[in-house]
Chain A
Amino acid sequence: MEVIGIFILVISFVTLLAIGVPIAWSIGISSLITILISIDSLPAFTTIAQRMGTSLDSFTLLAIPFFVLAGQLMNRGGIAKRLINFAKNMMGSLPGGLAYVNVVAAMLFGAVAGSAMAAATAVGSILGPRMVDEGYDREFGAAVNITSSTTGLLIPPSNVLIIYSLASGGASIAALFLAGYIPGILTGLLLMAVAAIWAKKKGYPTGERVSLRALGASFIKAIPSLLLLIIVIGGIIAGIFTATEASAVAVLYTLILGFIYKELNIQELPSVFLEAVKTTAIVLLLIATSIAMSWVMSFENIPQSVSATLLGLSDNPIIILLMINFILLFVGTFMDMTPAVLIFTPIFLPIVQDMGIDPVHFGIIMILNLCIGLCTPPVGSVLFVGASVAKTTIEKLVWPLLPLFLAMIVALILVTLFPQLSLWLPGLFGF
């Protein structure tokens, strides 16, 4: 029975994806087809509709629209510009410095906004043209921008970590946020190492050294933006705010800052809100159909048979983790991050938990793994955004992306093998 279910689910899903049906609908349609084997049509329609509606009925998920909105406001309200400027003054005087600037800016922006797409757009559109002016390879710049912007998904606040918390059935958001720092920074450092080697080989120019005074000035200008980090993350970790409350406060704070900087005006606010609604709705519809699929899978006992199969192959936790990583890398290339987290967490988490692996550690592995998928064709959303911001094509990006992928894979292996990279920091704060 389960085998037929899995078969129908996978075949219908892959077919729909391949012919170009949007992912959110493909997930919904294949779930519907699968559940129709077991229950009558009218109850099936109603149940899927109900799952889609109730899946969004969650106070935790409310953080997503607000963090998206805060990210948009930061882009328009001058916060992104100030952070990038600060990163430039810090790192720009090194050989190939603009590449480091890009990575650091992406990490800083990720640390305040928590969206890879927003980071790729903001940092890429400001730094990309400058890199080309200074003689950098357009494609290399774009590749660095694309890969480094994914660090923002690990460095908190991060919407996908919130989604993982939901999918895992209650892993603490504060613990996940803390756990993301070291793996996120580690990935950034490895990407910088690749950029350094590349820049040296190509003889990229050294930017002019800025005076300590200018560095200090740009730091002071960045302080209000960096303060957001303390309010949001500090607030969540200290237990003052829930993630949702913190996200709403972040919106309020960025709004006020944007008006103080005089970069926002009332007239353009509705369009900023509408942009945020659109980005949010894309994610929310994916969540709605993914949760419906997850329910169909558990109804058909699919997680149990996957678990039995995996455990039949090995009972060594490291081997199991590597196998899961392998599957996720494959899944990540075809599936967006949100549905992948919502659909595969309920399948894999019970297996690894039985083997004594911490759900927080597993979450970080999963997100880092799926970050790689965001930069690969055919569905890498960050890849597409990064390529269009840099005005280049995906085909041309394949070669410069390769060494950077390798760096991300190394980061993934390290994070998988050494749980302390993820768990040390939350442990320090008593999680």
Chain B
Amino acid sequence: MATTVLDQHRVHAAHEEKTGLWSWITTVDHKRIGVLYGATAFFFFLLGGLEALLIRIQLAKPDNNFLSPEAYNQLFTMHGTSMIFLAVMPLSAMFFNYMIPLLIGARDVAFPRLNAFSYWVFLLGGLFLNAGFLFGAAPDQGWYGYANLTSRQFSPGANVDFWNMGLQVLGVSSLAAAVNFFVTVINMRAKGMTMMRMPMFVWMSFITQVLLLLAFPVLAVALILLMFDRFFGTNFFVPAGGGDPLLWQHFFWIFGHPEVYILVLPSFGIVSEVLPVFSRKPLFGYAAMVFSGVFIAFLGFGVWAHHMFATGMGPFADTFFSLATMLIAIPTGVKIFNWLGTMWGGSIQYKTPMYFSIGFIAMFIIGGLSGVMHASPPADTQQNDTYFIVAHFHYVLFGGSIFALTSGAYYWWPKMFGRLLDERLGKLHFWLMLIGFNLTFFPMHFVGLNGMPRRTWTYPAELGFETLNQLETAGAFVLFLAFSVFLVNIFKTWRGPRNAPADPWNGATLEWAIPSPPPEWNFAEAPVVQGRDPLWETKRERGGRLPEPSPGTGAGIHIPNPSYWPLITAVGVAAIFAAIMLSHKTGPWGIIVAVSILFLGVFNWVFEKGYSEFTTPAHGGH
């Protein structure tokens, strides 16, 4: 494949694009990869939502037998695992992919093929995780897989293995993407864009990449040790062989706590983009927002054992982790106040993205406060492993992340797809989601403190949980309605013309200066930036809104070539883990074949022709 230099003979109109399945399979364009992430993640999100709905139906009545205990245990495991790894993380990745290069004025990410590789590995990992359903052996040990329930002795089936291997595959995806975005943000910013002039979404996403890089290897080691226990006869977590189940908990939560910040920091970033635009004033306290984000990430590595207060670690450990956890509330509070400060004194434009961002703040406050209540071990030993905790994390992950991601979707939809989502349907979506969400999860605070533990496939009538559970199930169906409205909105506007303006919201950042959707090369000319909110600066200088930008012809701009080697390499990665699972049937040969595929992919990728003259697509065309 020769370098694709777009010259006069191949003029691209702004909206023309390569079509066809092959163009999507071989794409290395960050925008297309973003769309792939988004569509795949949204599919898994709906799947996870269906799993939740089934759970809620089962719990609507005491002693219910709508679901068997095995089915229920698989569903709650898959719901949690899917929502975390296959929905929230890749939905954030959709925005990392699509928006980071645009926000920093770049033409693509640092490593376009690595980017494609990350997506394909994610897709394969998600399929791997769900493949267990096909064999009636979906993961059923909880999303956190505590030892020693996960040992061969107590979980003889393949359920745990689908989970273990699936997560290891997903880990590869996340790590590759983290390297990519870390380098992109450090190295590919527009001229004049110092770190302290970057849009807040870029900052929060950047911090998230650091968390990914440092937290996922710990999970990888835990999963590897578990894999060795289950496949190679070691006893790392098997008490009879000298192992300690508590070791798993430590390893897992050293990953697991930074993971929750990985889930929420990008959402903080999205809200920090939306609020200023729709308040028509800059983000309040930019520097404090940056430093609080850094502080949260750093501290986030020091609080993991607050998930383990019920294990009896002793007063000194309990005290340390309790105080560290309370400390994290401070920078989090600072952020909330800064968002309020952004709205304060503004001229708030009530469009759908703003609704969801405000909803985020309102819900996240509740989730944050219940989190502070957990920080105290004497209280937490009543709350832990009950629905009170379920309430807490849904308030921060759904009321937080999902509301923010939805806000980002409405906000950036015109830029990505050239169409504005319908405002009325958007507001209906918001109200249904707000009401449904609170109806589902607010009662959980009460039913949890009144004695209902988590992960229970049913409960006896005598304990009195029925009324609140019915309310929660009703709420889940309202949420179902909310997402149906969203789907209707998407389909309805998809059929309309692709005529969204470049800057429908009077935005402050660079992505609004280019057409909706952007041409393949993003910026006809590399932007130069002189402060934060560069587009507001430009509009102020020019005395008003800018005219519709022309995409340019792309003449002379180097575009990364499409390639299928990332996909092949991804197949190799997934194949290795599949081969380990099947090693009792195929022996070492499966692994050898898989490793060969991996090597084939890597070598061809590295030595692919057409990339020898490709320059880092940072600035300008040359």
Same complex: no
B interface vs A, CB < 8 Å?
none
A interface residues with partner B (beta carbon < 8 Å):
none
